[in-house]
Structure 1
Amino acid sequence: MHSHTVYSRLLLAGCKYTIFAAFWLHISAGAEHLEQIIAANYLDTYQQNERRLEAISKQLENLPIPNLREPTGTGGFLSDNKEHADDEVVITFNWDQAHRIDATALFPLRLFMDEVYDENLYWPKLITIETNVDGSTTTLAQLDGAQARLRQSLPELVTFSPTKTDNLTIRCTGLQQHPNRDWHAAGFAEIFIFSEHHNLAPIAKLQTNGSRDGKYVLSSKFLTDNQTPLGLPQQAIEDKKKLNYFRQVTENKALNETPLTLTLHYLEPIAIDALRIDPVNHFYYGQGFPVRFTIELLDETGNILLPHNQYRRIALRNPALNPFIANFDETKASSIRITILETQQGVTPRAPTIELSEITALHRGLPLIPAKKIDLLWRNEIQTYTRGVKSRDITLRRMATLNNGETENGRIISQREWTEGLHQQQQLMEEQLMLRSAQTAILTAIRRGILMGSIGLVVIILATAISLIVRSRIKARQHVLHLRAQIASDLHDDVGSNLGTIILQTERLQDLIHTQHEQDRLKKILRLTKESVLGLQEVLQTTSPEIGHHKSLATHLQELTELMLGQTPYTIDIDPIVNDALTDNLTRGRFMLFYKEAVHNAKKHAQCKHVDISIKKDTRALILCIGDDGVGIDAKALSKASTLRTLKKRAEWLSGTLTIDSAKGKGTRLTLELPLNTLRRRSA
């Protein structure tokens, strides 16, 4: 087996197993796992991002957890149709007296319906918050640009320098278009306006320049009803088993004849401006929540200081998971009385119940201390719960949960604290999203590097293999050329010398022998020997032109013709250009063999009296013509493939065109045309 063949097989086998190993490492062993190992151990940026992602996860655990499933509360506000995105939607809040405001929170719409299905639909691209103080308009804040990458109905909290004013205006431009209709609008689910922890929006007079009131449960009045789409403003706690709720079974849905009364008594008069009532979501959102009721603030003697009779005759809209907040002018009260006239019917046909999670007195947005005593009056029966007194009665124990500062799901916190937590959650989640995208990009780059490295390794191995194979073949060719040169040298020195000696001895014998018969035999020997010398010279010229005496092709052909034709008359016309046209050794050798065969046929088989030979060149080909006046070839024999088969084959090897013109008794003319462009390409 040749050495280069061994190299080829070994290197190709090496390439195959290298490729297999690279892709096995990249795919079979788990490229993602490998990428993470590389990134986690060797890339500082990846390690820093991972530490930050871990810190964000811990921070998110301590923030309020909003309800991100189905929307809760009322629908919110949506402006009427606007023709263009540049049209303006204006929302104005006015108060009877000036307040010091320092922040506002905007909750995105969260619509889930057949026509529109989107969490953040109609969020304006440009929101300007301004106020008018002493006739001068001041811009408090401006939100510019597209909506956040990640919102999930979380609010946008906008803080600004505390400003004392009795009005606030929100201007919206860059309105979003309806997903499949040609109109634009702006909308919010809820708007909070903060004075520290106090939400002033519900006590303001609201005006807009166009609202879709009464359509798709969207109305301007829902902007300040505390019914956000995210549920309860509270902070979840770990052990929810400690949390309970109040439940009272009633006989019928309407309680007009025998209303149920809950009275919260405080140790001393408290300053109060709002009362928060939280629903229960144990069975169904809002189930058992009062829909017709009154709230009264009482003094020490039980007289009514301020009543809240808004829902005495008109039923409250289902609050779902949201608390109901009743707002009052700031008042000092000793007791709070809630009279329940009607409750929401449950989803199953059973006796209506009153289910409440918490009742909390508020002052400027902050929860007050729990009540000292709670009375429940129904059917002239009073049940009392006093703080610090343990009772085995289940109703009394459940009454204790009505005012302990903890709802069914968590600890009561202010709307400001809750909104700040949600806003921080939105910012952390957006940072988390960007960091994860960066981590993915790093892993993708490593994956690409592994793949490119594998490909590069394979390319290097293949290049090395090809280089070794080429070098092996070059070495083998050099060895062959060396052997050829050595053989040619031996032929020139040994066989050429012997043939020269034979020619000299034959010529001397011709001088010594005078018999005609012997003279003819010596002439044949001399002619064959000279032909052998010319053949040897041609072999040396073809295989190793550097060995021996270089002779032009034209001269060589003339000498060869003279020897081969002998006494047969001939004419020969060779254009010297043949020396430049046939410089390729292989082509020259094949041309010489064709020439010898053609001249030999004319001498031996044609029985001719004259041979005419010419080699000319025109613009496109080198043309060899050999004609004789011999017996010729009949048409039938000329049509056979076996006629002059050797000449036809040699013409094919030369990429030439052979034309045979002959007829019985009219001689034969062979014409070989060799295209010059083929000869140049072979010589190059």
Structure 2
Amino acid sequence: MERELEAIGQQLPALPAVPVGDQGGTGGFAILPLQERPAKEGGIAVEVRLPEAGMVDLVALVPSRRYGVGGLEAQFGMPDEFTVELLDKDGKVIARIADERALWADPVRAGHPFVYPVSPPVEAAALRVSAGRLRLDSDVSESFVYAWAEAFVFAGERNLARGATVTSSGGQAPSAPWLWSNAFLVDGQTPLGLPEVPAGEHRNVGWISEGRAKATDSVWLEVDLGEERSFDTVRLFPAKRPTSDLPSGFGFPRRFSISVPDAAGNKGEETAVEMGNPGHSPIDVPLGPRRGRKVRIDVAELWKVFKDYPAFFALSEIEVLEGEEMRNAGAVVRSPDGMGNVIGSGLQYWNAASLSDGFGPDGKLVSRREWLMQLDQRLKLEQRRHALEQEAAAIVDRWRRTGLWAFALLGGAGALVLIALPIRYRMREKRELARVRERIAGDLHDEVGSNLGSIQMFADLAESHAGPSKELKRIQRIAAETVSAVRDIVWLLRPQGDHRIGTAEHLRETGSIMLEALDWEFHANEAAWQTELSDEANRHLFLYYREALHNVLRHSGAARVEIRADEEAGKFRLVITDDGSGIPPEKMERPSTLRALRQRVEALGAEFKVDSGPEKGTCLELAIPLDRKRTKK
């Protein structure tokens, strides 16, 4: 068993992983049914009608994800059970390729795509995915939710589902058409990032233009294939954001055109594209059959996220394709902008060679099909590892019970067995914990490295402007936010550290950051400054605290906020008072009002009072029993 676990541990680093961070792009398809289960089979379903029938040999479904106050929902809207069927042109089922059950009980899947090989291949004209049991939408308590981020239907390397017609039944669309749409199920954008696989150290991160004052300032790139070649598609890979405060899809143009210049340099027919930010998903631009030596990209409107932030054009890779065959590997890329090395975060470089080297910012680029299959391989290995670890834990548990009998019969010998096995198990758990902390430390390093890399970029901009500039203030804000983010993570991860601040002090510092724009005060008695909660209680308290302050900022319209923390009468009390618009009585009667706060209160085993009304502001009072806390020595 240990040998198999070791073999799995050696295979996993060579496989791609599902990212945790927000990768941007569209959300996908979603509907809000009114019942937990369909009244009849297929009553809650989504159907993908392919542009043309084909020999289907692989189907993949990517779960949707959503980021809320509670953190990442990696499988938002994924049913506990569903079926996947291939249909003919008349809508008749010709093959059922999946019948999933009890998915919510799987502790390992966590956003991994569902990948289904179809062998032998089946000629199909449509795909239907029918839901069984659904979860309530945490934002809309009276509705359930059924959602998917992306559907792939492959015939070899070709995705037949791209641009298909999508219809749904059994529910209404959510009120966020910019994020959820039937068409987004087949737009090629996923929350899983670029199709990269680990391939050792790679220094080139992509190419970035010089900064422009206006989004409408022109920028162009030209890829020289070296000789005349045939191709039909250009695939653009967005750049990795250089700082954590920028959105995914950094530098991807809003409007651009692609042309194939002739020998005299005339552009000829242009293919124009206008689109929103694709996040970290590659974008295919079909050109139809073309032949030429050069491919030119002219940008009509650059990416510009803030008014006082420069406009940029940035990409990670450009692929000129015939089918799925790359025709520009190692090709020369030219632009009137500086094409030399620009130092990015983490000792990586922005340069023109990055655009045709076959690598993304974090690994070797592969086809979507290969990438999805490797993600599925990783899932199977992780599921096997989890099963082995559970089996090992069961064996240890059985040995513990046997050891009790052996102790009664054999005395000291039985005691030795009883002690030795748990110690060995605990040592292994400690080693695993050390590896987890090492990975977290690496993430902290990358975050700090990213923002330090951004300091150079903003400093250069400030220097070129000569004199006081808003860029320097932005540098200071990014640095402050980075220090704050690192402090929060370390504070929660290492609650027993010798140099950590207390719970009340951390509440005060968090309030100073979130309520900076308001008139606010924080008070605490001497006992509260010395109060320290358990690790689990601290986590729930800060989720409650951040949610309460977010509510003040988003909904109350308050100008002043007072926060008080006291330890008295055997309880740790936290009172948050604002002078905002208050909560109407009819809204207070709804079960969904303050639901997130009540969930944290229940987890803390605390008392919770709300005093609110129109034009009188709101007062939230939380009282945590002292049997859940410790006091700092």
TM score, norm. by length of structure 1: 0.53
Q: Please, which of 169, 175, 179 is the counterpart of residue 127 of structure 2?
A: 169
> 1:309 maps to what in 2?
272
1:120 to 53, 68, 75: 75
Deviation at 1:358, TM superposition (A): 1.1
Question: Is the contact between residue 105 and residue 158 of structure 1 (CA under 8 Å) also seen in structure 2?
Answer: yes
Output the CA distance in 2 between the equivalents of 1:85 and 1:394.
54
**Shift, 1:66, TM fit:** 3.0
Residue type at the aligned position of 2:182: S
CA distance in 1, matches of 2:130, 2:318: 37
Decide whether aligned partners of structure 1 residues 96 and 112 sit closer, same or farther in structure 2, where only a CA change above 3 A counts.
closer
Alignment length (residue pairs): 396
Asked whether the 8 Å contact 1:175–1:184 carries over to 2, the reply is no
Contact 1:129 1:141 in 2 (8 A): yes
For the residue of structure 1 that corresponds to 2:76, the secondary structure is: coil
Match of 1:408 in 2: 361
Q: Relative to structure 1, is the Cα distance of residues 371 and 117 closer, same or farther in structure 2, using a 3 angstrom cutoff?
A: closer
Q: Which residue of 1 aligns with 2:384?
A: 431
Q: Distance in 1 between matches of 2:90 and 2:186?
A: 26
Task: Return the letter of the residue paired with 1:325.
Answer: D
**Cα distance per residue 1:533-579 (max 9 Å; x no partner):** xxxxxxxxxxxxxxxxxxxxxxxxxxxxxxxxxxxxxxxxxxxxxxx
Q: Which has the larger radius of gyration?
A: 1
Partners of 1:304 and 1:205 lie apart in 2 by: 33
Mapped contact 1:175–1:186 kept (Cα < 8 A): no
Q: Unpaired runs of 5+ in structure 2?
A: 415-633
In the alignment, which of 131, 134, 138 is matched to residue 87 of structure 2? 131
1:420 to partner: Cα distance: 0.3
CA distance 1:226–1:343, change in 2 (3 Å):
same
Asked if the contact 2:196/2:371 (under 8 Å) is kept, the reply is yes
CA contact (8 A) 2:56 2:122 kept: yes
1:370-389 matches, within 5 Å, as 370=329, 372-377=331-336
Match of 2:195 among 233, 237, 258: 233
Amino acid at match of 1:197: E
The residue type equivalent to 1:89 in the other structure is: I
CA contact (8 A) 1:102 1:194 kept: yes
Aligned to 2:102: 146
In the alignment, which of 227, 244, 248 is matched to residue 209 of structure 2? 248
Task: Specify the alignment match of 1:101 in structure 2.
Answer: 56
Note closer, same or farther for the CA distance 1:249–1:369 as it changes in structure 2 (3 Å cut).
closer
**1:245 counterpart SS class:** strand
Unaligned runs of 5+ in 1: 1-48, 386-390, 462-684
Residue in 1 that maps onto 2:229: 269
The offset of 1:185, in angstroms, is 3.3
Which of 21, 26, 50 does residue 74 from structure 1 map onto?
A: 26
C-alpha change, 1:96 and 1:247, in structure 2 (3 Å) is closer
In the TM superposition, residue 162 of structure 1 has moved relative to its aligned partner by 5.4
2:87 maps to amino acid: T
- Deviation at 1:357? 1.5
Overall identity of the aligned pairs, in %:
24
Q: Among 219, 235, 240, which residue is 2:181 paired with?
A: 219
SS in 1 for 2:215: coil
**Per-residue deviation at 1:141?**
0.9
What's the CA shift string for 1:230-262, capped at 9, x where partnerless?
111011222123x2421212332322xx41111
> Counting helix residues as a fraction of each chain, which structure ranks higher?
1
Distance 1:438 1:175, change over 3 A: same
Give the whole-Å Cα distance in 1 for the aligned partners of 2:310 and 2:255. 17
Partner of 1:288: 251
Is the partner of 1:59 in helix, strand or coil? helix
Q: Is the 8 A contact 2:38 2:44 kept in 1?
A: no
Question: What is the CA-CA distance between 1:427 and the residue it aligns to?
Answer: 1.0
Cα distance in structure 1, aligned partners of 2:262 and 2:107: 52
Question: Is contact 1:366–1:413 with CA below 8 Å preserved after alignment?
Answer: no
Give the stretch that moved more between structures: 152-161 or 440-449.
Answer: 440-449
The answer on whether the counterparts of 2:33 and 2:44 sit within 8 Å (CA) in structure 1 is: no
Structure 1 letter corresponding to 2:25:
G
Equivalent residue in structure 2 for 1:111, among 50, 66, 77? 66
How far the C-alpha of 1:403 sits from its partner, in A, is 1.5
- Aligned partners of 1:301, 1:206: CA distance in 2, in Å? 44
1:60 to 2:12 alignment: yes
Q: CA deviation at 1:344?
A: 2.5
Does the CA-based 8 Å contact 1:279-1:322 persist in structure 2?
no
How far does residue 60 in structure 1 lie from its aligned partner after superposition?
0.9
Question: Relative to structure 1, is the Cα distance of residues 61 and 55 closer, same or farther in structure 2, using a 3 angstrom cutoff?
Answer: same
Q: 1:89 to 1:407 in 2, by over 3 A?
A: same
Provide the secondary structure at the position in 1 that maps to 2:402. helix
Tell me what 1:85 maps to. 37
Taking a change above 3 Å as real, the CA distance of residues 136 and 347 of structure 1, as seen in their structure-2 partners, is: closer
C-alpha deviations, 1:408-431, integer Å up to 9, x for none? Answer: 221110000100000111111111
Match of 1:342 in 2: 301
Change (3 A) 1:236 1:298: farther
Task: Please list, as runs of the form range in 1=range in 2, the aligned pairs for 1:607-622 lying within 5 A after superposition.
Answer: none
Tell me the secondary structure at the aligned position of residue 88 of structure 2: strand
Contact 2:259 2:269 in 1 (8 A): yes
Give the aligned partner of residue 447 of structure 1.
Answer: 400
